[in-house]
Amino acid sequence: MILLRNAPCDMNFLFDMPWAGGYLEAIFLEKRKILNNRTGMIEAIGVREHIRCLEGVKDDIVAFHESAARPDDALRRIWIADVRELYGVVLAAAELLPSIAGGSDENAGACVQFLGAAESLNRQVLSELKGVRSKASRRLQRRLAEAFESCHDRIAETVRPFVRANDGQPPVATVSRAGDTEFHLHCAVCGEVSFVFRIGVPRFSTEECLVYEGITHAGGVDRKHARRIFTLLDAGAVGRAHSYLMRKKLLEDGIDAYCPECDAVYCREHYHANEEWDDGFYDCTTGTCPRGHHRIIDD
């Protein structure tokens, strides 16, 4: 994770060492100059004050959790780590703004990803605060919601002109083959690959199986089901493949990118995937397609 560092640590003591010559000093001074320039650019973009406000709320939430008397210290440490991670991810997005303003399309995409991660973390931290039912908690919830929205909107507004819009064309076909043992399902709106089936070895496994990669999660199921799934996909029968996966209890919610009522596949953006949290714990992700059909896509 990239974090914004506005002030380097104090290394002046090194300059007093007998082996520290002009070369070493020049390195430190140049580094300090880069950091100061970066901070100045961020302030010029108009994000710094929003960041400082979020930092203050973050510190108050940490102090709130540290001072609260709870029997579960492990949970308290997790909640403190979560709010610090939220702050760090927002800083990561802010740090990319100077290079984006300089024309870095790649960093613009990374900034959008950071903002997406921050949105999920913000919902999680707010859920954790709601788990502590007190006036102080409710005040912190309001402050965090306002500070995060202010930071998020300012960063998003700055990066928006540099982000390529996801305005691709609808696919010729929902299903395409990427080899003898790999199928791709494409978003009905933009054509983006939104779900993949392939024969391979999933993460954290050593056995070959039918791997799936969706818009909310990835994993693998017994390879014996591959022939049936591939036959259905070869015929373009995504709905039947979706039903098969649920009927055989292979995927509880079926193909997460699929809307049964539309009989269409959508990417995460066009399915408007939304994570929901309960007292700091992940509950589910819902999807709402462009036609307004709503369902749980990961539980």
From first to last of the 299 residues of the chain, give the pLDDT tens digit.
Answer: 333 323 333 333 333 333 333 444 444 444 444 444 444 444 545 788 999 999 999 999 999 998 876 657 888 889 999 999 999 999 999 998 888 877 767 788 889 889 988 999 999 999 999 988 889 999 999 999 999 999 999 999 988 888 766 667 888 899 999 988 999 999 999 999 999 999 998 877 788 999 999 999 899 999 999 999 999 999 999 999 999 999 999 999 999 999 999 999 999 999 999 989 887 888 999 999 999 999 999 98
The per-residue pLDDT for 165 is: 63
- Count of structural domains within the chain: 2
> What is the C-alpha separation between 34 and 250, in angstroms, rounded?
53
> What is the C-alpha separation between 135 and 267, in angstroms, rounded?
40
Domain that holds residue 205: 175-298
Tell me, yes or no, whether 83 lies in a domain: yes
114 and 39 co-located in one domain: yes
153 and 179 co-located in one domain: no
With beta carbons less than 8 A apart as the criterion, state whether 195 and 213 touch: yes
Final residue before a domain boundary, out of 111, 141, 162: 162
Final residue before a domain boundary, out of 135, 162, 189: 162
The per-residue pLDDT for 135 is: 93
What are the angstrom distances between the C-alpha of 136 and each of 4, 67, 86, 133, 142? 29, 12, 20, 8, 10
The per-residue pLDDT for 298 is: 94
> What is the C-alpha separation between 169 and 217, in angstroms, rounded?
25
99 and 66 co-located in one domain: yes
The per-residue pLDDT for 10 is: 35
> What is the C-alpha separation between 275 and 282, in angstroms, rounded?
8
Tell me, yes or no, whether 153 lies in a domain: yes
Nearest partner of 129 among 118, 119, 120, 138, judged by Cα: 138
The per-residue pLDDT for 9 is: 35
The per-residue pLDDT for 102 is: 73
Tell me, yes or no, whether 188 lies in a domain: yes
Q: In sequence order, which ranges of the chain are alpha helices (DSSP H)?
A: 22-45, 48-67, 73-101, 105-130, 135-159, 226-234, 238-247
157 and 185 co-located in one domain: no
Strand order in the sheet with 175-177: 175-177, 182-186, 193-200, 209-213, 218-221
Tell me, yes or no, whether 1 lies in a domain: no
The per-residue pLDDT for 7 is: 30
225 and 250 co-located in one domain: yes
